[in-house]
Amino acid sequence: MLRQLIVNADDFGLSAGVNRGIIEAHERGIVTSASLMVRGVAAQAAAEYANARTGLGVGLHLDLAEWIYRDNAWSPLYEVVDLADRVAVESEVRKQLDAFIGLMGRSPSHVDSHQHMHRDEPLRSIAQRLTSELNVPLRHFSAVQYCGHFYGQTAKGEPALEAISADALLELLRRLPPGITELACHPGYADDIETAYCAERACEIQALCDPRVQCLVVEQRIDFIDFSVALR
């Protein structure tokens, strides 16, 4: 049965280093799509790159907060708005959508969020209404199957580099189910950002660009697409 794969890089626009890593994983590796953080310092550069190319799909990566595990508990590294304030959350979501359209000149191919904040209310229903209006997929809530196993940290933020090795990626591809799957990734060079996910990003680039991965894709007859193709 047909297996189609969207390899989506989160955090596009977060920094120049992250942009550089995503671009490398797209041009030399298997990344077919990216999610743009419009609040990122390098969002303009990311949009300019994407608009100059036809092979990279771009969606909206809603950025409302980031949490980090320290002192045996999760605590916010930053919060853009009060996540319990529905009015403030919806206002920020609309603001970020407008910024995306301003940068890209079009609507996003899909929507997701930083650290999956949209799985919880009030962002969940706000994001669902937004993607219904746009007629685009929302991560976790569409026919596109989501795979988040290619991630280099545990639930407590501890390094798990074995999960983002080339061998781990090869195994994920071998077990890819029929239908359309989104494989999330976070390639980048993180020497210019403060974030909970740093050194792992460069390890992801190595795996995504590993020649063995390219060979396996051909052997397994996996069809690489982006979200715009998934909607047809």
pLDDT tens-place string over residues 139-167: 999 999 999 999 999 988 888 999 999 99
Q: Which CATH superfamily is domain 3-230 in?
A: Glycoside hydrolase/deacetylase (3.20.20.370)
pLDDT band (50, 70, 90) for residue 221: very high
Q: What residue type is 40 in one-letter code?
A: G
Of all residues in the chain, the percent with pLDDT exceeding 90 is 85
Judge whether residue 89 has pLDDT over 70.
yes
The predicted structure's pLDDT at residue 69: 81
CA distance linking residue 107 with residue 164, whole number of Å: 31
Average pLDDT value for residue range 193-218: 93
- Range 98-103, long-range pairs (CB < 8 A, 24+ positions): 99/38, 99/39, 99/43, 100/36, 100/38, 100/60, 103/36, 103/38, 103/43, 103/44, 103/47
pLDDT band (50, 70, 90) for residue 231: low
In Å, how far from its chain's centre is CA 195? 15
The predicted structure's pLDDT at residue 77: 86
| Largest separation between any pair of C-alpha atoms in the chain | 50
pLDDT band (50, 70, 90) for residue 138: very high
**For the chain, what is the mean pLDDT?**
94
Tell how strand 73-79 and strand 65-70 pair up: antiparallel
Judge whether residue 193 has pLDDT over 90.
no
> What's the Cα-to-Cα distance from 102 to each of 31, 90, 93, 137, rounded to whole Å?
24, 18, 14, 20
pTM: 0.95
Catalytic residues, by residue number, are 10
CA distance linking residue 36 with residue 23, whole number of Å: 13
The predicted structure's pLDDT at residue 195: 79
pLDDT band (50, 70, 90) for residue 232: low
